[in-house]
Amino acid sequence: MDKGSLASALGSASVFGQSQFAFTRGNAFEARVKADGGAELLRLVHDGLDRGAEPPAEATVHLPDLSATGPEGRAARTSLALREATGAAGAWTLLDHPMLALEVAGSPAFLEPDAVVVHPDGSWTVVEIKSFPMLDGSADPAKVGAAARQAAVYVLALERVAARLDPAPRVRHRVLLVCPKDFSNLPTASAVDVRKQRAVTGRQLARLTRVEEIADALPEGVCFSPEQSAEELAAAVEAVPATYAPECLSACELAFHCRARSREAGAVTCLGRPVRAELGGLSTVEDVLAAARGEAGDPDDPAVAALRRAAGLRAEALAAAGGVTGCH
């Protein structure tokens, strides 16, 4: 389902994703990197990954047209362009925003890397263009890690395309990360080895529950089409259990909707997964307060015992301070 449309239809559109400003700035930087037929980008690939090859300025450079209708059409066009480029030995080819298909949980997912370069030796490289700065040759490790995980998925998808060719071309496991240099608008690049991320993602993909199995577990008649009324959609979403946590805010379009539901229900997961783990079987704030007051809960439960001890200490501290005792 399209969770962004679903969240909007439910009246809880999420701001999850990039800000408009960051988006515009990122697009402007990417356009600059790819200007002049990708001359700068190919120079960075040559310098960072393939110094032994003929420089792109002196070799033939191809920029295939990848436009087609729909993601399936674009993926087919990309496969064809990759096949042709791999056969054109001695030339550099830049595929700008190719479309790749990868089977995820038994269903095709379409992926769009910033660029894929075919080297003169016929090997393929994924290029990721990011707008975070690279200072003195290194960037924020968390952001580089996220970019590496993203690029590793593209590498896996490219390997599926390569496996259908005979002989199968080499998909390079060092990708090129292009960023602005020292807060300027000038591009600089770093080669990133994504072998580890590729192996981890490959294992995770192999273990995913198939979409059909997840769909089979849904109650009969549940449908998430955004064309339905807000009431029907709310009922459909309600029919599926959700365990909201603050981490959802940076990862899921339905976060605002689930957060509102979770607060209404007084669920302790609103307070974060570590708190939930500490509280064991106590799943609502009401249960927690009742346990702390000694009105409910098994006294042998370590979470209940800890809450009662904490409530007692609080009451003592407030009494000593001359304040009002009680548990709020």
- Contacts with ligand SF4, residue ranges (CB under 6 A): 242-244, 248, 252, 254-255, 258
Token duo for residue 116: 């894929």
Sheet strand arrangement including 92-96: 61-62, 92-96, 115-118, 124-129, 174-180, 187-193
CB of 3 to ligand SF4, least distance (A): 7
Of 249 and 327, nearer to ligand SF4 (C-beta) is 249
- Residue in this structure with the two tokens 């002196």, named with its chain if needed: 58
Please report which helix (H) or strand (E) contains residue 256, including its range: helix 255-264
Length of the chain: 328
Nearest approach, Cβ of 13 to ligand SF4 (angstroms)?
Answer: 13
Shortest distance, position 242 Cβ to ligand SF4, whole Å: 4
Q: How far is the CB of 238 from ligand SF4 (least distance, A)?
A: 12
Considering the complex, state which of residue 39 and residue 242 has its C-beta at the smaller distance from ligand SF4.
Answer: 242
**Residue 264 C-beta: closest distance to ligand SF4, Å:** 14
CA dihedral 123, 129, 130, 133 (to 10 degrees): 90
The smaller minimum CB distance to ligand SF4, of residues 248 and 268, is found at 248
Tell me which H or E stretch contains 74.
helix 70-87
Task: Please report how many Cα atoms fall inside a 13 Å half-sphere around the Cα of residue 32, on the Cβ side.
Answer: 17
Main-chain dihedrals φ then ψ at residue 271, nearest 5 degrees: -85, 0
Query: 232 vs 301, which CB is nearer to ligand SF4?
Result: 232
DSSP letters spanning 231-289: HHHHHHHHTS-----GGGGGT-TTHHHHHHHHHHTTBGGGG-HHHHHHTTT--BHHHHH
Question: Between 61 and 252, whose beta carbon lies closer to ligand SF4?
Answer: 252
End-to-end alpha carbon distance in the chain: 41
Please state the closest distance from residue 19 (CB atom) to ligand SF4, in A: 20
